[in-house]
Amino acid sequence: MIKVIFFGLGEIGRQIARLVLKKKELEIVGALDLAPDLVGKKLGDVLGLNAPDLNITDDVDGLLSQVRADIVLHATVSNLTVALPQITKCIKAKLNVISTCEELSYPYYRHPELSSELANLADSNGVSVLGTGINPGYLMDTLPITLTGACQDVQRIKVTRMMNSSKRRVPFQKKIGEGLTPELFRKMIEDKKITGHVGLVESIAMIASAVGWKLDEIRELLPEPIIAERELATPYITIQPGQVAGLKSEAHGVKGGVRVIELEFNANAAVQDEYDAIDIDGEPPIRQKIIGGVHGDLGTSSVIVNMIPRVLKSSSGLVTMKDLPPVSAYL
């Protein structure tokens, strides 16, 4: 039995927990969350499922020192600087960590010093630390990296995620600005209240590292609003024509003045044709498409849980998806 502690039981943490409950070889031994409305509640009540009789606690030090476990599934924030103290405590308790923290998926570019400290700490405690999820971690990095494996030469990699946001959770729909006026959207972008998709920079840096490209720079564009042309009803809101239907996040990896990596994340309520596409200009060229796209939350919880065996088998240190054998379901 693999003993698992949850750290973070927000929407994604709960999806992860529900999947863990289905796996016979995984045993839940602890549940951490810092949110006052969760602390003290029974895990099963929060999940709405039969679960081990555990209360969610915010006593991180207490739990980590008292409970023996193999791995922490960490799902709190996107920002590595904020997540770091949490992850550090897990490492010092000699626990492997898989985290949804977007900036941890390939931290070497944005946080080179933190990465090297984290790598040393993990290594000296004999555990592995991985940041992953559906994106970053899979659709816009691991998968295009794997597809270049069939190529003798590659000139350019373009990845497009086209998602109908009206099928997603309400907090996600809010986060991308659905129903705002374009003016308010731009103001919220300026004030960093809307950040767009976090992870494009990490995905580009991971791809470049895998294929051996030294980039001049990684350019992340400000998110652009997608404006509704007709009324769009979503479970969250009815969007009027002229209001924001969602957003497009875009980033480019530039080498020799040329965009060699282009990532586009487009989530809006007007999308009819959902897909995840990877286009590689190379020898041979590869034109890949996942028709209908991959459901984000289901994908993230899957990748997190499916990587458990890989992380436990990995040599210690800070690892990324390109360093470990391919993720697969285990059934």
Using CB under 8 A, list all residues that contact a second copy: 19, 22, 134, 138-139, 142-143, 145-146, 148-154, 210-213, 282-292, 294-295, 298-299, 301-303, 305-307, 321-331
Nearer to a second copy by C-beta: 80 or 327?
A: 327
CB of 226 to a second copy, least distance (A): 23
- Give 6 or 138: the residue with its C-beta nearer to a second copy: 138
Scan for tokens 């999940």, then name that residue: 47
Minimum separation from the CB atom of position 327 to a second copy (A) = 3
List the beta strands (DSSP E) in the chain: 2-7, 26-32, 71-74, 96-99, 128-131, 153-164, 217-220, 224-227, 232-233, 238-239, 244-255, 258-268, 275-283, 286-291, 317-319
In the bound complex, what is the minimum distance in angstroms from residue 294's beta carbon to a second copy? 5
In angstroms, the CA 188 to CA 115 distance is: 30
Nearest to 297 by CA among 135, 157, 147: 135
| 246-to-96, 130, 158 alpha-carbon distances in Å | 36, 30, 21
Beta bridge partners of 233: 238
Smallest distance from a second copy to CB 309, Å: 10
Nearer to a second copy, 69 or 206 (CB): 206
Nearest residue to 329 via CA among 309, 313, 311: 309
Q: How far is CA 92 from the centre of its chain?
A: 24
Shortest separation between residue 315's beta carbon and a second copy, angstroms: 9
Q: Are 11 and 133 within 8 A, CB to CB?
A: no
Asked if 202 contacts 261 with a C-beta cutoff of 8 angstroms, the reply is: no
For a second copy, give the closer residue by CB, 60 or 263: 263
Query: Using an 8 Å Cβ cutoff, are 155 and 260 in contact?
Result: yes
Decide whether 154 or 194 has the Cβ nearer to a second copy. Answer: 154
The nearer residue to a second copy, 97 or 208, going by C-beta atoms, is: 208
Query: Cβ of residue 271: shortest distance to a second copy, in angstroms?
Result: 16
Q: How far is the CB of 261 from a second copy (least distance, A)?
A: 12
Looking at beta carbons only, is 85 or 326 nearer to a second copy?
326
Q: Which is nearer to a second copy, 226 or 294 (CB)?
A: 294
Q: How is residue 275 written in tokens?
A: 């897909």
Sign of dihedral through CA atoms 235, 240, 241, 245? Answer: negative
Question: Among residues 186 and 197, whose Cβ is nearest to a second copy?
Answer: 197
* Residue 322 CB, nearest approach to a second copy (Å): 6
* Shortest distance (Å) from residue 73 CB to a second copy: 14
Instruction: Check if the beta carbon of residue 224 is closer than 8 Å to that of residue 247.
Output: yes
Which residue, 50, 48, 61, 67, is CA-closest to 9? 48
Phi, psi of 175 (to 5 degrees): -60, -30
